[in-house]
Amino acid sequence: MAENFDPIDDLLGQLEADQSPSSGKDFKNIVKMQMAFPDNHGTIMIAPFQGEIDGKKSFYTLIPGVKEFKTRIPSVGDGKDEVWIRILPKEFYGELTKEQSELYDQVLGYYDQVDEKHTEGDKWKVIRTRTYSLFYGILLKHVNLQQKELTENKGKSVLLIFPSKAPINKLGEAIKSKTNVLNGDKTWVSKVFDATNSSREGALVFAFSRPENNYQAAVSFEFNSSFGDRIVENSYQIEEPSLFKDPVSDFLGRFNGKDGHKFNSDLFREFGKALALDLGVTKVNETRFEVTPENKNGKDPMTEPTQAPTQAPTQAPTQAPEIPGVNKLVPE
């Protein structure tokens, strides 16, 4: 392979920028591995591949400031199951219409008020903000924290979803460290990050865990050796390279919009209703998506953001405030 490998220059440049302080499509054959799950913790080895967002290709994707709220919505399990709804930063949804942008801003405003309402003690169980790091690849090996090799997804196309920026930070550090050892030679990088997989001689290795409620990551590389087992065969090819498309759409999954759009207006209305219910709303105007809050203190929490909303008294499930189109939430 030629030494002038443009995707690697893009990777190194993007890593340099993203290590600074944090400021539908068919993906049925991509296995999404949620690395927040303890069962996925351990050491995982992949042959990395590029995804593409708005015409820009990259070996990883950083999504900071994802707003999450645990609730029930009618479109998921008929409203019977609790799910974490996700509100990405607006720029990740692509170009929005004026109406979509206004809807996004309104729902985000409700989220901020719910965030203010919940106390620190129970907040993480109900509402949180996370940063996600996404990596596409072919899974070559997965060993859990008990040193048992997991083979269920071996050889499959995967999207690793890390709930932390640590893997990206550690990747940048690992590349710099190895390059320094080799006196500045970066040609080895293309043997791991081969955009076509035709000359791959190495793999990317993550060690990921969460001791004491703090995610930790380490990144290293393994290379083929003539004296042992080969990590990646030169002839190894994936059957469907087109599977690696837009990692943000894959990350959103069932929360994607229609016809290839990421923003789902119907879903955002459901999000808004769920958040409004948490704030003690009595009515929702289905046409304009306006809400009327319960007024317990003579002030409107929807129009006075500096005033923390008054939480509605706890009621039996049969007395929960009605919102058209939303199943009643049963308190835990």
pLDDT over 80 (residue 114): yes
pLDDT of residue 299: 46
Domain count, the chain: 1
* Residue 20 within any structural domain of the chain: yes
Does residue 314 have a pLDDT over 60? no
217 vs 211, 234, 247, 298, CA distance in Å?
Answer: 11, 28, 21, 50
Q: Classify residue 312: in a domain, yes or no.
A: no
Q: Which range has the worst mean pLDDT, 1-15, 165-179, 268-282?
A: 1-15
Q: What is the mean pLDDT of the chain?
A: 80
Is 115 inside any structural domain?
no
pLDDT band at residue 282 under the 50/70/90 scheme: low
The whole-number pLDDT of residue 46 equals 93
pLDDT of residue 297: 46
The domain in which residue 159 lies consists of 6-103+126-255
Q: How far apart are CA 55 and CA 57, in angstroms?
A: 7
One-letter identity of residue 120: E
Tell me, yes or no, whether 300 lies in a domain. Answer: no
Report the pLDDT averaged over residues 137-164.
Answer: 94
pLDDT at residue 316 tops 90: no
What mean pLDDT do residues 9-19 have?
75
Task: Examine the pLDDT at 171 and tell me if it is beyond 90.
Answer: yes
Q: What is the pLDDT of residue 101?
A: 96
Cα separation, 27 vs 159, whole angstroms: 10
Say what the pLDDT of residue 19 is.
65
Q: Considering the domain boundaries, does residue 272 fall inside one?
A: no
Q: What is the pLDDT of residue 283?
A: 59
Calculate mean pLDDT across residues 151-179: 95
CA distance 308 to 114: 9
Residue 76 maps to a domain:
yes
Give the residue with greater pLDDT, 114 vs 326: 114
Write down the pTM of the prediction.
0.78
Question: Is 202 part of any domain?
Answer: yes
Least confident among 70-84, 235-249, 266-280: 235-249
The answer to whether residue 309 scores a pLDDT higher than 50 is no
The pLDDT tens digits of the residues spanning 181-236 come to: 999 999 999 989 987 777 788 999 999 999 887 899 999 999 887 766 677 764 45
Question: Two tokens at 310?
Answer: 């008054």
Q: Average pLDDT of 94-122?
A: 91
Residue 133 lies in a domain: yes
CA distances (Å), 242 to each of 29, 169, 178, 179, 258, in order? 11, 28, 31, 31, 20
Q: Of 285, 283, 308, nearest to 296 (Cα)? A: 308
Predicted confidence at residue 224, as pLDDT, reads 84
